């Protein structure tokens, strides 16, 4: 059943404001803008067995001496178009901590589903905390053949979540809830987007499923929603951007489409209620670039966040940028506040951005003299986000922050001049704070080109008690790679304080984010990472369920894939080494890894982790003391990055390399074979 309501709020602002930045960059800087094109949709109908040769696999190098996470195979899909792109469809991995259950939701097909169709949906499930899995549980089958080329109910870019009644231990009372766009053609010019599919799965009986379909109608333009959350009462909220694609180009309708899945106990299924929520934006931005939704443990306090410019914040330094805009509910989503923008920069901005993002040296490197004062620098978000609600009912926004570029609504992506942040409130949305979690090297990856882009895919996980927040993202930290298509997964924990600071986790004793996939088969191959919105907790360990799709920018996304699961990445209370703004006493010397692989014949890599920013360089000498290689990487902020060394001009033999970081030098031996 559908019910259409309209929530209207008057928000006045000037559209298409033209501004000129008051300070100039020294040189042309790399920058990115939001992707505006339509998402890929139509694929062929059911076909024959997909070749195993298309599966992208890697094996772990057993010679590496490191504390590795364990990575296992999950289910397969006919292609990579499951985990979404442009930051979308992040509700792929879900967990019920009290049942020790983890699920991975995806489209079907691939080597584990010979002859399977990519428009069918299924899930992989573990009931022992992610150690052992039952894969490829098909629960949605496309059946509506539109005439020999595709199925109009083919599922695409799905979201899902798990719900368990409070205190329940019977899986028959728990359920999986799914929501996916379909290809019914009601919101497109090419018979692609416009439909939704939704329903539930009985977690005690995977064959007990429901399937419901919805089509675009009236002023409702269904597309590919990013935002998904299940409330404590089992009802779900899915937020889409109401945009008309029937002409072949986008026309934003000025509102968000809130899809409510309301549980009908007598039918044992969900009813769909659709609500339009006014969300005007500056016409120069076309539409919001991303949305997210989350509710607190009480099921009453909730937030919708969008990345946009709705004219509600002060423009700083003439730089027009994006920022988070939020709506709040205190009645379970029956009504919502007016949209409220969060000021990033300027005198009324957040000190965690103004004072912590750029060093004085970076400001001087970026701007012509006279350089702007810190509160004169315009800042912007990147183009996706994730949100969570903590134990006190306060909103946390995981988002990437950087300087506004030369073009309006662009972000400067010079390496290590933008960073992952948690922006949060301590009083329900009046005052806001920003905590920098880690610098980034690259923003956008291409698979294999701009037809299939993906940014840092920042995501938030809460502990089961919602007292601790974990933020994860992907970044390519190889110096010689120019786009984010060879990523690792990074993660950092934080505990907010009432006075606007936070306790943060450390890695290897240094106050930086943890590189989850370093020295594993997922290293530089952890594309499209998906992270559960809640962690597991046992034996003092906050284990974060994580999956990824192993592919690089050289790989065709239309090839079959196998999903990967990281079984044992966790934080403990002992990992929190930064208390408020003060670091606990620790070793501050940089960490320089042994090169890997070693010995090597073509290329080897060296990872450097800095507790504090410094200039970094490397020199390599042969046994006679002759210098055969040198490279100055310049200033690097706190965090980790990887040097790649080619064996060109290095004959077989033993060499020594010295990494110089500030006042510290580390010398190790390498072998060329």
| Dist CA 13 CA 421 (whole Å) | 28
Whether residue 549 contacts residue 80, with contact meaning beta carbons closer than 8 Å, is answered with: yes
| Dist CA 295 CA 330 (whole Å) | 10
* Per-residue model confidence as pLDDT tens digits over 222-249: 999 999 999 999 999 999 999 999 999 9
Residue intervals in the chain for CATH 2.120.10? 4-9+21-32+68-296+303-326+333-453
* Per-residue model confidence as pLDDT tens digits over 552-584: 777 888 889 999 999 999 999 999 987 665 544
Q: Locate all alpha helices (DSSP H) within 288-379, ordered by sequence.
A: 351-354, 360-366
Residue intervals in the chain for CATH 2.60.40.10? 591-672
Mean pLDDT, to the nearest integer, of 182-187? 95
| Dist CA 435 CA 352 (whole Å) | 6
- DSSP 8-state code for residue 99: G
pLDDT score for 64: 30
Radius of gyration of the chain (CA): 24
pLDDT score for 587: 47
Selected from 3.40.50, 3.30.160, 1.10.150, 2.120.10, the CATH number assigned to the domain covering 4-9+21-32+68-296+303-326+333-453 reads: 2.120.10
| Dist CA 377 CA 276 (whole Å) | 36
Band of residue 31 on the pLDDT scale cut at 50, 70, 90: very high
Mean model confidence pLDDT for the chain: 89
Lowest mean pLDDT among 137-151, 247-261, 315-329, 566-580: 137-151
pLDDT score for 580: 63
Mean pLDDT, to the nearest integer, of 127-145? 96
- Asked if pLDDT for residue 16 goes beyond 80, the answer is no
| Dist CA 502 CA 433 (whole Å) | 10
Topology at the third CATH level for domain 591-672 = Immunoglobulin-like (2.60.40)
Q: Locate all alpha helices (DSSP H) within 448-588, ordered by sequence.
A: none
pLDDT score for 66: 38
- Asked if pLDDT for residue 368 goes beyond 80, the answer is yes
- Asked if pLDDT for residue 14 goes beyond 70, the answer is no
pLDDT score for 41: 61
pLDDT score for 664: 75
Lowest mean pLDDT among 3-12, 159-168, 300-309, 623-632: 3-12
Band of residue 506 on the pLDDT scale cut at 50, 70, 90: very high
């Amino acid at each position: 059943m559908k019910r259409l309501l309209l929530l209207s709020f008057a928000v006045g602002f000037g559209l298409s404001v033209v501004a000129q930045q008051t300070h100039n960059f020294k040189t042309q800087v790399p920058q990115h803008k939001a992707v505006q094109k339509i998402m890929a949709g139509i694929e062929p109908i059911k076909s024959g067995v997909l070749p195993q040769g298309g599966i992208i696999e890697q094996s772990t190098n057993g010679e590496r001496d490191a504390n590795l996470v364990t990575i296992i195979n999950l289910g397969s899909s006919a292609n990579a178009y499951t985990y979404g792109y442009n930051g979308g469809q992040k509700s792929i991995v879900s967990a019920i901590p009290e049942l020790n259950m983890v699920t991975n939701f995806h489209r079907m097909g691939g080597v584990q589903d010979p002859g399977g169709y990519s428009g069918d949906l299924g899930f992989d499930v573990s009931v022992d905390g992610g150690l052992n899995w039952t894969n490829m549980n098909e629960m949605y089958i496309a059946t509506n053949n539109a005439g020999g080329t595709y199925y109009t109910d083919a599922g695409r870019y799905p979201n899902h979540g798990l719900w368990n009644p409070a205190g329940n231990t019977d899986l028959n009372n728990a359920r999986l809830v799914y929501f996916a766009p379909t290809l019914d053609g009601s919101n497109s010019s090419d018979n692609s987007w416009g439909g939704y599919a939704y329903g539930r799965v009985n977690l005690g009986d995977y064959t007990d499923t429901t399937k419901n379909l919805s089509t675009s109608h009236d002023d409702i333009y269904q597309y590919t929603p990013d935002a998904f959350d299940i409330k404590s009462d089992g009802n779900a909220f899915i937020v889409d951007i109401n945009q008309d694609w029937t002409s072949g180009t986008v026309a934003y309708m000025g509102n968000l489409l809130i899809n409510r899945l309301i549980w009908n106990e007598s039918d044992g299924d969900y009813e769909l209620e659709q609500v339009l929520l006014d969300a005007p934006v500056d016409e120069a931005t076309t539409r919001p670039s991303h949305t997210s939704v989350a509710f607190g443990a009480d099921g009453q306090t909730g937030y919708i966040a969008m990345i946009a410019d709705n004219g509600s914040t002060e423009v700083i330094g003439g730089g027009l940028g994006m920022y988070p805009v939020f709506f709040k509910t205190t009645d379970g989503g029956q009504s919502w506040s007016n949209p409220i923008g969060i000021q990033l920069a300027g005198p009324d901005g957040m000190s965690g951005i103004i004072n912590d993002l750029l060093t004085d040296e970076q400001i001087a490197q970026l701007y012509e003299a006279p350089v702007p004062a810190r509160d004169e620098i315009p800042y912007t978000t990147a183009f996706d986000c994730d949100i969570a609600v903590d134990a006190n009912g306060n909103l946390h926004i995981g988002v990437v922050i950087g300087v506004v570029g030369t073009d309006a609504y662009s972000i400067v992506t010079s390496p290590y001049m933008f960073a992952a942040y948690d922006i949060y409130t301590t009083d329900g949305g009046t005052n806001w704070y920003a905590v920098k979690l880690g610098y980034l090297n690259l923003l956008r990856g291409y698979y294999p080109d701009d037809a299939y882009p993906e940014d840092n895919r920042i995501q938030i996980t809460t502990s089961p008690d919602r007292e601790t927040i974990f933020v994860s993202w992907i970044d390519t930290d190889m110096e010689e790679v120019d786009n984010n298509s060879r990523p690792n997964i990074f993660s950092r924990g934080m505990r907010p304080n009432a006075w606007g600071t936070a306790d943060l986790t450390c890695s290897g004793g240094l106050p930086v984010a943890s590189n989850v996939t370093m020295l594993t088969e997922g290293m530089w191959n952890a594309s499209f990472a998906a992270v559960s919105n809640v962690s597991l907790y046992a034996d003092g360990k906050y284990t974060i369920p994580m999956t990824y799709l192993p592919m690089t920018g050289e790989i065709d996304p239309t090839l079959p894939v196998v999903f990967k699961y990281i079984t044992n990445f966790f934080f403990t209370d002992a990992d929190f080494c930064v208390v408020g703004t003060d670091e606990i006493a620790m070793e501050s010397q940089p960490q320089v890894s042994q090169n890997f692989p070693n010995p090597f014949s073509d290329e080897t890599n060296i990872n450097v982790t800095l507790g504090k920013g410094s200039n970094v360089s490397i020199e390599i000498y042969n046994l006679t003391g002759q210098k055969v290689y040198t490279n100055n990487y310049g200033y690097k902020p706190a965090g980790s990055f990887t040097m790649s060394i080619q064996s060109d001009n290095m004959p077989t033999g033993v060499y020594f390399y010295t990494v110089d970081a500030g006042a510290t030098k580390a010398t190790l031996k390498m072998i060329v074979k």
